[in-house]
Copies of this chain bind each other. A is one copy, B any other.
């Protein structure tokens, strides 16, 4: 009884083309249509009229193209449509002939033959002048259209695809870990909570404990999703909601873990350099430092780091966690990301493996990005000894019952394993050379910002 399909099935292919691209040519594809008549649709960025010639720059989401109108060759309606009151961000459909031009952005321009205004925009709030950050963030839904924002978010999208590709190619199984969790997490003081059918649920700060559980099923796993910190931080490195990728590997120790991190970070940087060169140019990123990123990354133990900081006049004492300022000093020593490893037990989370060579410390590492971007990775070998893990849970006064299932992983076939978490926004901020993580996510959430 279903009615017959009304379209031609032969038009549907399993390739990379589908129907919408038949109606409009995408601007990025114009150089392949030299001399042809095409129709594009997009938004007006600028209009300049010089007497009897006019230039409209159109953005269609795949690129920018300059459209040239010559008055004497067009009907009065088309000429007027393209030159009078054609406000910024108006939606237009333009038919014209493709001309290659090396000077044009994207390599082609359009000799206009027809123009239709699909929607005339009101006066656009964002003008090519200095707006304050709060104003721009209030208009984030429109600010996304600006060239630097587009470029930054394209790099983000490339990096996120690269994350999936890296682990997929290496046989990792993706495990989507829950956001709504019972009473677990690193620090109850920085958890968002919600009423959950009579119980209290907390928004996950990490998927780590869950990916650990998946190791005996899949050996190498990772999760990648949003994580939450209800921190009252207003620094340029903090978001309340950010994306983190967390691989976890069975039978890998802390040394293996750092090797994986080197390989992973190098892969992400190479991928961005390889496929986002235009975007990095828009962002005026000096890529000379990025081009040097390859293993091995320099390594410094926490103890060495404290001695180094003290030699530079810091009053840091052994045992205290490193702060942002400390990290900046340490990372300045190298153009590569720098490992700081084996922190004091009391400065780190309960699940980290005691260092057999120095039980005051745990087998862990942070990875500090160069150029002052600070910590982009935190990782560790996990405590696989049931009794030591229980001792740590009790020392930290954590709710033992909530960790029963996690302790089970040490009761039924415990195993050496390690993993880490890489923060996407901080990594993309470093790669793009942007000062603040808030531009590295489409709709940032900060202490004082929940909209748009």
Contacts and interface: CB of A to CB of B under 8 A. Distances in A.
B196 A450 contact: yes
Contacts of A232: 197
A65 to B, nearest CB: 13
A181 B251 contact: no
A176 B267 CA distance: 21
Given A176-B441, A217-B61, A412 B142 contact: yes
Contacts of A426: none
Interface residues of A, number: 135
Nearest to A260: B18
A103 to B, nearest CB: 24
A121 B445 contact: no
Contact of A413 (B28, B119, B220): B119
Contacts of A300: 1-3
Interface string A228-247: 10101000000011010000
A176 B437 CA distance: 14
Given A180-B450, A243-B176, A408-B141, A19 B415 contact: no
11 contacts: A1-B304, A12-B263, A14-B263, A23-B251, A28-B171, A121-B413, A139-B405, A144-B214, A157-B173, A175-B442, A178-B443
Nearest 8 Cβ contacts at the A-B interface: A61-B219, A5-B296, A2-B298, A405-B452, A141-B213, A89-B413, A12-B295, A119-B414
Given A3-B299, A90-B413, A225-B225, 6 more contacts: A5-B295, A12-B295, A61-B217, A145-B217, A150-B218, A196-B450
Interface of A: 1-7, 9, 12, 14, 16, 18-20, 23-24, 26, 28, 41, 43-44, 59-62, 89-91, 118-119, 121-122, 124-125, 139-142, 144-145, 149-150, 153-154, 156-157, 160-161, 164, 168-171, 173-182, 192-197, 199, 201, 203, 210, 213-220, 225-226, 228, 230, 232, 240-241, 243, 249-252, 255-256, 259-260, 262-263, 266-267, 270, 295-301, 304, 308, 333-334, 338, 384, 402, 405-406, 408-409, 411-416, 441-443, 445, 447-448, 450-452
